[in-house]
Amino acid sequence: MHQRGTISLPIIVVISAIAYIYYTSVFIFIDDWFGLSSSPGLINVATFTTIAFMSVVTYVIAITKDPGRVPESFVPDIEDSETPIHEIKRKGGDLRFCQKCSCYKPPRAHHCRVCKRCVLRMDHHCIWINNCVGHANYKIFFVFNIYAVIACIHSLVLLVGSSVHSNGEDEQQSESSLRTIYIISAVVLVPLTMALSVLLGWHIFLISSNKTTIEYHEGVRAMWLAKKVGNIYQHPYDLGPYDNLTSILGPSIITWVCPTSRHIGTGIRFQTSYDHKISESSLR
């Protein structure tokens, strides 16, 4: 069985990239542009170090945290009036049962072929953390993306500013060994920033509609099938933009970028748009 938290080649690549970007940003770009002992230099060092530290912390948590496993005792209660939606198999009408795990799957849970078990609210299996992204570590994974994008953009600004400053003050030095470092840094930072920004944008879209990557692709097919018979498909867990955000990131905006997830619940049952409408009507 796949063991989360084990060191893999992609994790080594990520850690090496973080170390390289931090070293070049602080000890080359900031030092060359402002000087480490100057006020602007110290401010940039403190800011970049804080962002890099949070990136490392959230990355480690995303690697080691269990994404959420289905309890062995879980059995769906089809007579539970508080559970209006029960996911069923695509073919037939039986409740979702995992033949490989020999257990029922709660709503939004899926079997991961790499981890060889069912994962609660599974989004995808990520090779860069050697772990599934699921119910318990999805917010951590998202927050890591935020800090990583901010760090990359900050480093890019430092790279451009330092290179312009070097060309203006000492063109001969910039054409020496440091020039190679600037080129390598640009080759690493530009595609990395673009890739992470696209990934962050994708998950902002998913969170705003309360979908996982798997549910998005399933929803595309469901919309096509519904349109084919003249119906309109609506994602059952879409509670509205703000409630979608708070259900994933937490009720307080202050904690949205903090690696905390006490608000997420058990992952066995999720509020649906049907529940949301009932609660809103009861408040009127």
Top-confidence residue, 97 or 87 = 97
Give the pTM: 0.89
Cα–Cα dist 107/76, whole Å: 9
Q: 146 is in which domain, residue-wise? A: 9-166+177-278
Which amino acids are annotated catalytic? 126
78-90 pLDDT, tens digit per residue, is 655 455 444 544 4
Which residues fall within 8 angstroms of residue 200, CB to CB, at 6 or more apart?
A: 142, 145, 146, 149
Q: Is residue 246 one of the residues assigned to a domain?
A: yes
Above 90 in pLDDT, residue 108?
Answer: yes
pLDDT tens per residue, range 129-141: 999 999 999 999 9
Amino acid at 69: R
Tally of domains in the chain: 1
pLDDT in tens, 148-170: 999 999 999 999 999 888 765 55
Residue 135 lies in a domain: yes
Look at residue 64 and tell me if it is in a domain.
yes
User: How large is the angle between the packed helices 241-249 and 177-208, nearest 10 degrees?
Assistant: 120
Q: What is the pLDDT of residue 171?
A: 52
Query: Is 171 among the domain residues?
Result: no
In a domain, 258, yes or no: yes
For the chain, what is the mean pLDDT? 87
Residue 2 lies in a domain: no
Residue 247 lies inside a defined structural domain of this protein: yes
Q: Kindly indicate the confidence band of residue 93, based on its pLDDT and cuts at 50, 70 and 90.
A: very low
Residue 3 located in a structural domain: no
Name the residue among 249, 251, 242, 244 with its Cα closest to residue 270. Answer: 244
Residue 147 pLDDT > 70: yes
pLDDT tens by residue, 19-68 = 999 999 999 999 999 999 999 999 999 999 999 999 999 999 999 999 99
pLDDT value, residue 278? 52
* Residues contacting 254, CB < 8 A, separation 6+: none
d(CA 24, CA 165): 15
Nearest to 112 by CA among 217, 120, 269, 180: 120
pLDDT at site 243: 93
CA dihedral 118, 122, 124, 128 (to 10 degrees): -80
